[in-house]
Structure 1
Amino acid sequence: MTTSTRPRTLQGVIAHQARLRPDHQAVVCAGQAVTYAELHRDSDRTAQVLRATGVGSGSRVGYLGKESVQYWELAFACAKTGAVLVPVNWRLTAQEVDHILRDSDTEALLVDEEHLPVVAEVRAGLPTLHTVLRVDAPADDPDGLMARKAAVGDDTIDAAGDDDESPVVQIYTSGTSGLPKGVVLPHRSFFNVAEAMDAHGLDWFDWKPGDRSLCGLPGFHIGGLSYGMQAFNAGVTVVSLPAFISSDAVRVIEEERVTTAIVAPAMLELMLAEPAVGRGALSTLRKVVYGGSPIGEDLLRRALDVLDCDFLQIYGSSETGNFAVCLPPADHVVGSPLLRAAGRPYPGIEVRIEDQDGKPLPVGEVGEICVRTPARMLGYWRLPEATAQTVVDGWVRMGDAGCLDEDGYVHVRDRVNDMIIVAGENVYPAEIEDALARHPAVAGAAVVGLPHERWGESVHARVVLEPGQRAGARDLLLFLRGRLADFKIPTSYDFAEALPRNPSGKILRRAIRAELSAPATTTG
C-alpha cells in the first residue's frame, strides 16, 4: 500500500484491513482471538451501542479496565462514531479516576468487573456520565456490552468522516500543577511518523508479513496505544496481556510465537530474570522496542546474549503523539557512547535545544529539548494557557534538559519538569507533594526520583514536619494509600528542617537528587 492510498483515520484502517486480510488475526489477549473482519464487525456493533446511548461526534467515552480485545474494539468504535476515547489508568485510585471522568465530561464508560467498585464509588457524583457498560459481563446481562451488541444486529454503521485532524483520543498526563491534563490527539498522530519512515525507506521501526507483536505497555499509555495502532496500520497481529507479569510475558511470547515487542527496560529486566529464560529462549523475537528510559549497558549485554535480536529505543511524549526520536538497532552496541543517547529524530521531525528565553542553542550546549512534529497534539483539553506554554510556534517543549551532538543525536541530561519514570509509568512530584501536604503533621515536602536497579527510578520524599508534630515514613505511607496509585507512593523518606529553595522560593529538587545520589564519604 503506497502512502497516497494509506488510510489516515482509525476507522479507515480497520475497514481497509478487514477487506484486505479478513481472516488474519488482529488481536490475541487472555485466550481470546479476533480476526480483522471480526474486529471490524464488533467495533461496528459497539459503535451502534454507543450511538443508541446518545454518544455522538465529540462525546468522550471512557475505558477503565485491564487490556482486552474489547479495548481495541472500543477504540475503533469511538473513531466510527466521531467520539473521543478516554483510556483511564486502572491503577489509579477512585479519587484520581473521578478527576479524569469529571474533567473530560465522559458520557459513557466501559469497565471490567474488577473495577466496578471504583465506578460505583464515583458514579453518583459525575454529572455527565449517563451510561456504564461492563465489557466482560455474560451475554444475558442487560448492562453488559455483549448483550447490547447482540441487540443491535449486524447492520453496517455509517462511520464518521475521514478528517485526520478530528480528535480521536484523550490521554491524561499529570503536570507540574499536580492535576492530570487531557492530551487531545487527532487521527494524524497515529500515521504521520510511519508515513515519513516509509517515504525515506527507513526500517528502524519496521513490520514484516506475519509479525506477531507483543504490546507490553498498557493501552492507557501513549506508548502502548500508539504501538498497537502502528501494528494495525501494518495489518499484523497485536498480542496483549491483561496486565504485565514477566512470567506471563515469557509464556505468551513462546506460545504465540511473538516476533516483535514493546516494553519498558524494567519489564525486559524482569523477563530476563525468569527461570525459563536462558540463552536461546524466546527465539522467535527479532526486535524489541523500548522506551521510558535508556537501556543500561549491562542489561543490553545480557539481552543481546540471551535474545540475540535487534533493539530500538523510542523517545517522545503524549504531547508529541509518542514517536519523535529513535535510537536504531545499529547503534545498540555494547560499549558505544550512543547507548546514553535518546537517538535521532524520525524523518519529518525536528529537534532543537532552547535556552530559558526560547532561543536556539548550538551543538553541545544544554537547554530544554523542543520537538516539532506533524503528529503533535491538538492541545490540552480546556487548558489553552497550558497548551500555549507547552506548544510555542509549533514546537513542543518536552520538559527535558538535553543537548544535540554534531551528528544530530539527542542526549537527555536531566528533567526540567522533574518527572520520575517508575517501570515505564510517569510520576509527577507536584501531585505527590500536594497529597503529602494534606497530612496534618506535614509542613512541606519535595519529591524526587532516585536510580533503582530494577524499576529505573524509585520515588523518594523529603519531608518537613510542622513544629511539635511527629510522623514517620509508615504514617505517611498509610496516609497516601487510597489517595494515590501505589506506583506513585514514595518508597523511601527522609526528614529535614527545611527544603532547599532558590531566591524566588522554588524548591530545588535537583539539589536534593544530587545530595542523595552522591557517593557516601567516610572519615578516619
Structure 2
Amino acid sequence: MDVSPALAETESVPTPPLPTRPRTLVETARLHAERQPDIPAVLCEGRTLTYGALHQESNRIAHALRAAGLEPGDRIAYLGKESEHYYEILFACAKTGTVLVPVNWRLTAPEVSHILQDSGTRMLFLGEEFRRIVDAMPTEPPEIVVALDSEDGFPAWRATHAVTDVGTFEATRDTPIAQLYTSGTTGLPKGVVLAHRSFFAIADSMAEAGVDWIDWRPGDIALIGIPGFHIGGLWWATQNFNAGTTAVAMRAFAARQAVDLIRDLGITTACVVPAMLRMMLGEPGVDAKDFTTLRKTVYGGSPISEALLTESLAVLDCEFAQIYGLTETGNTAICLPPAAHLRGTPLMQAAGRPYPGVRVKVIDDEGRELPAGAVGEVCLATPAHMVEYWHLPDKTAETLVDGWVHTGDAGYVDTDGYLFIRDRIKDAILVAGENVYPAEIENALEHHPGVAEAVIVGAPDERWGEYVHAFVVPAEGDRPSPRDLHTFLVPRLAAFKLPARYEFIEHVPRNPSGKILRRELRDRFWGDAERKVN
C-alpha cells in the first residue's frame, strides 16, 4: 500500500507494552487485536467485524485522518445510522487524539448546523440519507465531507492507507475522546466533552470492589439498543469492547428486529430505554421463549413505571439492572442492582445506589446538604464526569462544582443509601428517553406571527413516558390552528420535540416578579402524584 513519507516515519515508533486491563480506547483496540483477533467485535446486518479487523481498519482511518491534516483536538462529526464504521471511526479518533462528535440524525438542518458550527467540526462522515439535511443547513458544511455509503467515498478514502499502528499520539485517561450534544434550559444544545476515563471509571470501580451489578463475561453477545449519539449507546458499546465481548449494532431501533436478533443470535445482554421494553413486549406473538438466552438487561434513560418493570421481569426472566446518570456524569453513576429488583417493595421505584467510588448528596436551594428522606437537588461526584461544556466556562461552573455534577433532578436518599427521583428542577421533558427542553420549543413557536406567547410542559404518556404539551397565547386578531403550528415547527425542530397537543389560553400565569409559573401548568397533568416523572 502507498504510504506518505510522513506516515511512514510514524510507523517505526515503538508502541508501549499493553497493561493487564485497558485504560484508554487505544489500549482496548490493541489489547483485543493481540489476544483475540478472530473474535467478533461488531455484528451489523449480517456483517462481522473482528477485533483484529477493528484494530487494522481504525489504524487505516487514523492514517487517513493524519494525511487529511487532522490534528489532536480537532472535531470529527458522524451523521449517520449505526454501523461497524461508526466504531472504526471512534477508535481512529482515539488513536489520533481527535474528538468524535456524534450527531443525532433525527435533528433538523438548523439543529445540525448549530452542532457543526459550535463544535468547529473540520470533517464530517455523512450517511447518504442525511445529505439533504446538510444541503439544507443555513451554514456551510465542514471543509471535508466523507460519504459513508458511496464506493468512491469512505471505502476509497481509507483504502490506500496503512493498517499498521499509528504510534505517535499517546492518549491518557484525561484525553478528550467524544463531544455529545445535550439540550439545555437556554434552548441551544451544549457540547459535553468526555475523556477516555468516562468509559472506564465505573467498570473499573466495580471490578476493584468485586461488584457485579453490571458485568461482562467471555462469550457475551450484547445488543446495543440505544443509538451511539446518546451517551447510553456509546457507553454500552465501549464497555463491551473494553471487555472483549461482541456487540450487535442496529442501524436504528425497531422492536420486531430487536426481538428477532435476541432470539436468533443468542444475545445474552442488552441495554435499552423503558420505551424500547414496552415496544418489544407489545409486538404481536412475542413471549418468554424469545428471550431465553438473555441473562441481563440494563435499562435507563428515563424513569420506568412499576407495571412495565414487573411485566418485563416476568417475560424476559433475566437479571435487570437500572442505571441513572447524565451525559455530564459520563452516563451511569447510580445503579439499582439485580438483587434490589424485589417486586412489591419500595425499591421498585428507586433509581438505585451509587457505584463504589461514586458519591451522591441532596442539597437545598442554599447548597446545604439535606438529611435522608428530604427532597432537594441531586448532586453526583463520579470519576467519570465530563471535562467541560465546550466553550461555555460559565455553564460548566454552574453544573460542575468542586467535582460534583448538579443534575437538575429533585429527589431524596433513604437511610439505606438508595436514591429516589421525584421531580425535575430544570424543566426537562423525557420523551422515550430523549431530553427535550421547553425553551427551545417556546423560542421556535414564538417566531410564528400568530403566537404571542408559548409555554411548554411535559405531561404523562403511557407509551413514551411523557409527551410535549404546548400552552399558546394567540396574537391579537389571530388564532392559528394546531395544524398550522405543527406545520410551522416541522422544519425547525426534530420530530420528538414537536408538541403532541396544543391548548390555547388567554394569558400565561406569572408570579409577582413576572416569572412564569410553569409548575402550575404542569401540575394540572400530574395532580398529587408522588413521583412527577413518568
> Normalising to structure 2: TM-score of the pair?
0.94
Residue equivalent to 1:49: 64
**2: CA distance, partners of 1:501 / 1:341:** 33
Measured against aligned partners, the alpha-carbon deviations of 1:389-441 in whole angstroms (never above 9, x if no partner) come to 11111111001011111011111110000111111111111111111111111
Judge which range, 156-165 or 329-338, deviates more: 156-165
Question: Aligned residue for 2:289?
Answer: 280
Q: Is 2:74 aligned against 1:65?
A: no
1:352 corresponds to which letter in structure 2?
K
Unaligned runs of 5+ in 2: 1-17, 529-534
Alignment of 1:50-449 (within 5 A): 50-122=65-137, 125-126=140-141, 129-138=142-151, 141=152, 144-449=153-458
CA shift digits 1:373-394 (9 cap, x unpaired): 1110111000000001111111
Q: CA deviation at 1:148?
A: 1.5
- Equivalent-residue separation in structure 1 for 2:277 and 2:367 (angstroms): 37
Deviates more, 1:173-182 or 1:327-336: 327-336
Mapped to 1, the partners of 2:230 and 2:354 lie a distance apart of 21
Q: Is the 8 A contact 1:292 1:315 kept in 2?
A: yes
SS at 1:285's partner residue?
A: coil
SS of equivalent to 2:290:
coil
Rounded to whole Å, the distance in 2 between the matches of 1:45 and 1:420 is: 41
State the alpha-carbon separation in 2 of the partners of residues 145 and 196 from structure 1: 38
Distance 2:511 2:376 in 1: 19
What is the alpha-carbon distance in structure 2 between the residues aligned to residue 80 and residue 287 of structure 1? 32
Which residue in 2 is equivalent to 1:472? 481
1:522 matched to which residue of 2? none
Higher deviation after alignment, 314-323 or 496-505: 496-505
Q: Give the 3-state SS of the residue equivalent to 1:506 in structure 2.
A: coil
TM-superposed CA distance for 1:123, in Å, is 8.3
DSSP 3-state at the match of 1:430: helix
Does residue 495 of structure 2 align to residue 482 of structure 1?
no
**1:69 Cα deviation from its structure 2 partner:** 0.5
Find the residue that maps to 2:32 and give its secondary structure: helix
Please tell me whether the aligned partners of residues 95 and 171 of structure 2 are also in contact (alpha carbons under 8 angstroms): no
CA displacement at 1:501 relative to structure 2 = 2.2
Determine whether 1:13 maps to 2:28: yes
CA contact (8 A) 2:113 2:139 kept: no
Counterpart of 2:36 in structure 1: which amino acid? R
Q: Which amino acid aligns with 2:221?
A: R
Partner-residue secondary structure (3-state), 1:5: coil
In 2, distance between residues paired with 1:65 and 1:440?
35
Q: Residues of 1 paired with 2:339 and 2:431: CA distance?
A: 27
Counterparts of 1:273 and 1:159, CA distance in 2: 51
Of residues 493-502 and 415-424 in structure 1, the stretch that sits farther from structure 2 once superposed is 493-502
Contact 1:294 1:313 in 2 (8 A): no
* Contact map agreement 1:12 1:162 (CA 8 A) in 2: no
What displacement does 1:121 show? 2.6
Report the residue type matching 1:12 in the other structure.
Answer: E
Q: In the TM superposition, what whole-angstrom CA distance separates every residue of 1:198-246 from its partner, at most 9, and x where no partner exists? A: 0111110101110000010000000000111111111000101100110
Tell me how far 1:340 sits from its aligned partner. 1.0
- CA distance, structure 2, for counterparts of residue 303 and residue 174 of structure 1: 30
Residue 124 of structure 1: CA displacement?
A: 5.7
Q: Distance in 1 between matches of 2:510 and 2:296?
A: 45
Count the aligned residue pairs: 511
Output the TM-score relative to the length of structure 1.
0.95
Distance 1:302 1:96, change over 3 A: same
CA-based RMSD: 1.4
Shift of 1:111: 1.0
Contact preservation (8 Å) 1:300, 1:334 = no
- Offset of 1:514 from its aligned partner? 0.9
Structure 1 residue ranges without an equivalent (≥5)? 520-524
User: What is the percent sequence identity of the aligned residues?
Assistant: 55
Q: Structure 1 CA distance, aligned partners of 2:135 and 2:51?
A: 34
Specify the SS of the correspondent of 1:396: strand
